[in-house]
A and B are shown apart, each in its own frame.
Chain A
């Protein structure tokens, strides 16, 4: 007779891991980061490095405080994903403490105070972004113009970017007055409030074919990453399709009614963080909806709220707030959108 240790079925290991999922998300962000790098200079690389560093440090500290094992949770790559998403949302030359505060709010507050990985109600990256955006609006006016739009020089180089991030001062010949420029969404907002038509506003060299010059290319890069995630089945189609589809469906009749006041649907899609949001932020499994119909509703809600905030709100791009608001509703939506079970009669 031979004896054996017993265990519960199924006996064979899972074919997936959180680390793989998060790793694929990071991989899918590479095209977007490269686009960012191309149009806005090396600042993004430093912001990512800073944010990832702070995120891991805060994650480790919180795990320690919560008496959780470090290895499995630091290695799951969820903190770096939060950090990179946050870094992509802030101005590339934002001072270093923006990343520190953002990550403190994201990882420390939004993630770990709610119970860590999987338990957070709100998207950590968006909490971090919203906190710094609301608390330090001045720093968010320091967006750079996409390369090629500069009046007197190229984008700041590596050393100058570093100096700007760590001292808050831009070395000559640049100064914030010379360099900093409003984002396309800021411009649309400001000029349309002054009564200019969309057509007139779009004459500004800041605009490209659909959205902002440069921005629209970065959005394309995000979309490539998003399609990669769909192909790898890391995300499902419902959320991104609902976000982008709703934006187009809602803005199309308005634009058709009066194209002078209401932007072209694709201008909405290719402006701000909408594509990033559709594939990477609204599609976050933890804080989004989990049922298929719930994901459609969640995505549609994010799109609707984003448009509302863009049009009537106090901020040029409402995506972060839209996502956070829908995060509140996600558990309730899930509760009421359970799919039909096998063999169950249609209710």
Chain B
């Protein structure tokens, strides 16, 4: 019943077949990560938005209470646990109450889902602080609101980077909730059709979703096995695989009537709309050869990585690099005090032997293997050339900003050139250049405005002076003034007493 017309899948350009290593992350079970003594909730958002704390140091808060409000592309932050705010600076430090009843969380008032309209659904999703949990961290309500009329909702369960298994674990454990979340998301944008994209190697997740679909009778939702090619989980790549259409350059999937949300996001939407829960927890894969007991954990936002890794048995002796994210796009951390934020789905510890060597890269031999694997259909070898020649406008023209920084070119490069890092630097360079130009423009505008003002003032002054001197220069005026002065000095004799 759920499997309507069989979907013809398409290919996206390039990509890599990588060893998934998912089994090393044990996605069959989700462990509960106990609360740390202190949660740390950073005030910076993964996007351009800003967070403003609405609590003060010393204040006691309840689990589920709003502690920071968002402006711009950011999402409201809630206290994941009851406790006392001990500091508010770059991050809100929350000392977790010792006797904390996990059930006594503050919920949003119940919403009548049967009658709620689209605006109410979006408002509730925004109030719950839901952002895209796939990594980009875009506020979900903004994304839903921006899609005028989507004909297709895609739930992204294609976890393409090796080791990451949080969506796999979530789908195995909570398939039904994810589906209901998907149905609510579809309602919020009036999408007539929903596809759950799952990598064809995630057999157990697939079975769980299939069983849930059979039980829930959601006729507009189907599951689609997508090929396990990196980066199928990339939004633009997934859209092409499912629809055969490419998102226009510089545009969004909404431009072709498609909206993509991560499976974890659908789950968070379900919790928010059905249970009135804010997004305060997420599933995180703690894994890699540098972790003693890899696994998947339900973690309170703000939990330090240190605490989470301790739950997973700590590091192995060989652990030399700590990443938030996967091996291709993850961000290296200098220490493990960093807290888990909403967009973090994976903590990965790698050994020195897993890492690319920092030694000398050979020169580019222009083999074009990078272009062959590039999902953005760039010619990285040419971009490299322009970048090295410091010809940034040319690099930009050839698609520098279309680079999604997936890292596939680096893995394909026989010379071991750090292409992705180069492109990041080039983008940054253009950004800095542009900011400098903007600053220069602004100060030039200010300078011009000042000059104009000064010139105007001078002209007015000159005019006034001219006026005055003209008046004073005329003989009548002088005579009149003398008369006036005389008149003041000599009182009329006739009228004297």
Residue pair B334, A13 in contact (C-beta under 8 Å): no
**B143-187 vs A, Cβ < 8 Å mask (1 yes, 0 no):** 000000000000000000010000000000000000000000000
- Once A4-B320, A12-B354, A118-B365 are accepted as A-B contacts, the answer to whether A341 and B333 lie under 8 Å apart by CB is no
Residue pair B413, A1 in contact (C-beta under 8 Å): no
Residue pair B236, A4 in contact (C-beta under 8 Å): no
Residue pair B365, A341 in contact (C-beta under 8 Å): no
> CA–CA, A10 to B371, complex, Å?
17
Residues of A within 8 A of B297 (CB): none
Residue pair A341, B366 in contact (C-beta under 8 Å): no
Give the segment of B208-216, B418-426, B429-437 that binds chain A: B418-426
Residue pair A285, B367 in contact (C-beta under 8 Å): yes
- B491 interfacial by beta-carbon distance below 8 Å: no
> CA–CA, A330 to B177, complex, Å?
57
- A197 interfacial by beta-carbon distance below 8 Å: no
Residues of B within 8 A of A20 (CB): 414
- Once A286-B366, A341-B399, A342-B13 are accepted as A-B contacts, the answer to whether A14 and B411 lie under 8 Å apart by CB is yes
- A116 interfacial by beta-carbon distance below 8 Å: yes
- Once A16-B413, A17-B416 are accepted as A-B contacts, the answer to whether A7 and B355 lie under 8 Å apart by CB is yes
* B489 CB, nearest partner CB in chain A, Å: 89
Residue pair B357, A13 in contact (C-beta under 8 Å): yes
- Once A11-B355, A118-B366 are accepted as A-B contacts, the answer to whether A17 and B332 lie under 8 Å apart by CB is no
> CA–CA, A234 to B330, complex, Å?
29
Nearest-neighbor residue (CB-CB) of A344 within chain B: B249
Give the segment of A187-195, A198-206, A332-340 that binds chain B: A332-340
Interface centre among A73, A78, A344, by most chain B C-beta atoms within 10 angstroms, is A344
* B386 CB, nearest partner CB in chain A, Å: 10
- B466 interfacial by beta-carbon distance below 8 Å: no
> CA–CA, A261 to B329, complex, Å?
62
Residue pair A15, B412 in contact (C-beta under 8 Å): yes
Residue pair B379, A290 in contact (C-beta under 8 Å): yes
Residue pair A290, B369 in contact (C-beta under 8 Å): no
Interface centre among A288, A339, A345, by most chain B C-beta atoms within 10 angstroms, is A339
Residues of B within 8 A of A288 (CB): 366
Task: Specify which of A8, A76, A291, A345 is in contact with B362 (CB 8 Å cutoff).
Answer: A76
* A291 CB, nearest partner CB in chain B, Å: 6
- Once A2-B336, A339-B377 are accepted as A-B contacts, the answer to whether A117 and B424 lie under 8 Å apart by CB is no
Task: Specify which of A2, A73, A338, A342 is in contact with B398 (CB 8 Å cutoff).
Answer: A338
- A6 interfacial by beta-carbon distance below 8 Å: yes
- B323 interfacial by beta-carbon distance below 8 Å: yes
> CA–CA, A340 to B13, complex, Å?
11
Residues of A within 8 A of B306 (CB): 1-2
> CA–CA, A116 to B328, complex, Å?
31
Task: Specify which of B249, B372, B416 is in contact with A341 (CB 8 Å cutoff).
Answer: B249
* A237 CB, nearest partner CB in chain B, Å: 12
Residues of A within 8 A of B64 (CB): none
- Once A10-B356, A18-B415 are accepted as A-B contacts, the answer to whether A1 and B379 lie under 8 Å apart by CB is no
Give the segment of B88-96, B128-136, B402-410 that binds chain A: B402-410
Residue pair B334, A4 in contact (C-beta under 8 Å): yes
Residue pair A7, B358 in contact (C-beta under 8 Å): yes
Q: Which of A1-49 contact B (CB under 8 A)?
A: 1-18, 20-21
- B445 interfacial by beta-carbon distance below 8 Å: no
Interface centre among A10, A18, A236, by most chain B C-beta atoms within 10 angstroms, is A10
> CA–CA, A20 to B364, complex, Å?
15
- A119 interfacial by beta-carbon distance below 8 Å: yes
**B357-384 vs A, Cβ < 8 Å mask (1 yes, 0 no):** 1101011111111011001111101100
- B112 interfacial by beta-carbon distance below 8 Å: no
Residues of B within 8 A of A157 (CB): none
Residue pair B331, A9 in contact (C-beta under 8 Å): yes
Nearest-neighbor residue (CB-CB) of B250 within chain A: A343
> CA–CA, A250 to B270, complex, Å?
66
Residues of B within 8 A of A72 (CB): 360, 362
- B337 interfacial by beta-carbon distance below 8 Å: yes
- B321 interfacial by beta-carbon distance below 8 Å: yes
Task: Specify which of A2, A21, A115, A342 is in contact with B315 (CB 8 Å cutoff).
Answer: A2
* A208 CB, nearest partner CB in chain B, Å: 35
Residues of A within 8 A of B335 (CB): 1-4
Residues of B within 8 A of A117 (CB): 362-363, 365
Residue pair A342, B375 in contact (C-beta under 8 Å): yes
> CA–CA, A338 to B395, complex, Å?
12
- B247 interfacial by beta-carbon distance below 8 Å: yes
**B230-268 vs A, Cβ < 8 Å mask (1 yes, 0 no):** 000000100000000011111100000000000000000
> CA–CA, A292 to B253, complex, Å?
28
Q: Which of B211-225 contact A (CB under 8 A)?
A: none
Residue pair A9, B329 in contact (C-beta under 8 Å): yes
Task: Specify which of B319, B365, B412 is in contact with A14 (CB 8 Å cutoff).
Answer: B412
- B350 interfacial by beta-carbon distance below 8 Å: yes
Residue pair B357, A345 in contact (C-beta under 8 Å): no
- B327 interfacial by beta-carbon distance below 8 Å: yes
- A69 interfacial by beta-carbon distance below 8 Å: yes
- B322 interfacial by beta-carbon distance below 8 Å: yes
Residue pair A13, B355 in contact (C-beta under 8 Å): yes
Nearest-neighbor residue (CB-CB) of A16 within chain B: B414
Nearest-neighbor residue (CB-CB) of B328 within chain A: A10
> CA–CA, A225 to B381, complex, Å?
26
* A19 CB, nearest partner CB in chain B, Å: 8
* A331 CB, nearest partner CB in chain B, Å: 9
Task: Specify which of A14, A116, A338, A343 is in contact with B248 (CB 8 Å cutoff).
Answer: A343
Residue pair A10, B398 in contact (C-beta under 8 Å): no
Residues of B within 8 A of A290 (CB): 366-368, 371, 379, 381-382
**A47-76 vs B, Cβ < 8 Å mask (1 yes, 0 no):** 000000000000000000000010011001
Residue pair B363, A119 in contact (C-beta under 8 Å): yes
Residue pair B336, A1 in contact (C-beta under 8 Å): yes
Nearest-neighbor residue (CB-CB) of B16 within chain A: A15
**B445-469 vs A, Cβ < 8 Å mask (1 yes, 0 no):** 0000000000000000000000000
Residues of A within 8 A of B329 (CB): 9-10
Residue pair B414, A18 in contact (C-beta under 8 Å): yes
Residue pair B332, A7 in contact (C-beta under 8 Å): yes
Task: Specify which of A6, A11, A16, A334 is in contact with B334 (CB 8 Å cutoff).
Answer: A6
Task: Specify which of B358, B365, B376, B399 is in contact with A18 (CB 8 Å cutoff).
Answer: B365
> CA–CA, A234 to B410, complex, Å?
16
Task: Specify which of B236, B332, B382 is in contact with A6 (CB 8 Å cutoff).
Answer: B332
Nearest-neighbor residue (CB-CB) of B402 within chain A: A341
* A333 CB, nearest partner CB in chain B, Å: 12
23 A-B interface contacts by CB (under 8 A): A4-B321, A5-B332, A7-B332, A9-B332, A9-B421, A10-B411, A11-B328, A12-B411, A14-B413, A21-B367, A78-B365, A117-B362, A118-B363, A285-B367, A290-B371, A291-B368, A291-B379, A338-B379, A339-B371, A339-B379, A340-B377, A341-B377, A343-B250
Given contacts A4-B332, A8-B421, A12-B411, 12 further A-B contacts (CB under 8 A): A1-B336, A4-B322, A7-B332, A9-B329, A16-B414, A17-B415, A72-B360, A78-B365, A118-B415, A291-B382, A341-B378, A343-B251
Interface residues of B (CB under 8 A from A): 12-13, 16, 162, 236, 246-251, 306, 315, 319-323, 325, 327-337, 350, 354-358, 360, 362-369, 371-372, 375-379, 381-382, 398-399, 402, 405, 407, 410-416, 418, 420-421, 424
Closest 7 pairs (CB-CB, A-B):
A10-B407, A118-B363, A6-B332, A8-B421, A13-B356, A343-B249, A285-B367
